[in-house]
Amino acid sequence: MVMDTRRKKPREKNNTALWLFDLDNTLHNASHAIFPAIHVNMNAFMARTLGRNGVDADVATVNAVRENYWRRYGATLLGMVKHHQVRPEDFLREAHRFDDLLGMIRAERGLINLLKRLPGRKILLTNAPLGYSGDVMRHLRLQRQFGKHLSIESMHVHRQLRPKPSRLLLRQLMAREKMPARRCILVEDTVANLRAAKRVGMRTAWVTQYLKDQSNTIKRPNCVDVKVKSVRQLSKNLHRLR
């Protein structure tokens, strides 16, 4: 009997992680000043759009429409486009008008070092427009930590705008990046987006420190693999995201 003494090469495993980071209320505190300003801008735009005969719609009407579209489509913008023929670029431009954006940004220190420590590729995946999100990332000096910056303008599937929490968007992204779902990690503050990611097989990390309610008392949803107060805690929880 002749024995084969050649060593068999171990089968290589793809252990490279693909981190998908949200921006607002994940990498910085948008609730401090930016979200309130967007809320005012969005309401003003919607009031003009929903009004008749040159008269703006009242606050109650605007609030009801906004909440309805958020529940039905996951984004107010999609409802305005579908039902009121609003151009996405007009809505986004008006909603993100700021007198002093840089003065409104609040974020933790140490984010650059945190991102450097996380193994794998990183993509910014934000429902915010490119101009705004680019300004925030440059101000925080985080842009070099991300291989790609995917803003809402790039979130089209079959020529239809499909921002988060679209599962079609997430599947398309995985296909383009040639990454299996189990190696993708979505880092978010919005549970609806995390739920969509979990349903397509991704790992999920929920960032809670910028939520309005008492995030330390909120029970971790089943769609969340790791609940952290800050993204700075991600490196300590890597074993739970593998």
pLDDT string in tens for the chain (242-residue length): 444 545 544 443 456 899 999 999 999 999 999 999 999 999 999 999 999 988 999 999 999 999 999 889 888 999 999 999 999 999 999 999 999 999 999 999 999 999 999 999 999 999 999 999 999 999 999 999 999 999 999 999 999 999 999 999 999 999 999 999 999 999 999 999 999 999 999 999 999 999 876 555 678 999 999 999 999 999 999 999 98
Q: What contacts 184, CB < 8 A, 6 or more positions away? A: 17, 18, 20, 174, 197, 202, 203
- CATH of residue 61's domain is 1.10.150.450
DSSP strand pairing (203-207 vs 226-228): parallel
133 and 83 within one domain: no
Range of the domain at 182: 18-28+107-241
Q: What contacts 80, CB < 8 A, 6 or more positions away? A: 46, 49, 69, 86, 91
What are phi and psi for residue 122, nearest 5 degrees? -135, 135
Q: What contacts 239, CB < 8 A, 6 or more positions away? A: none
Determine, yes or no, domain membership for 224: yes
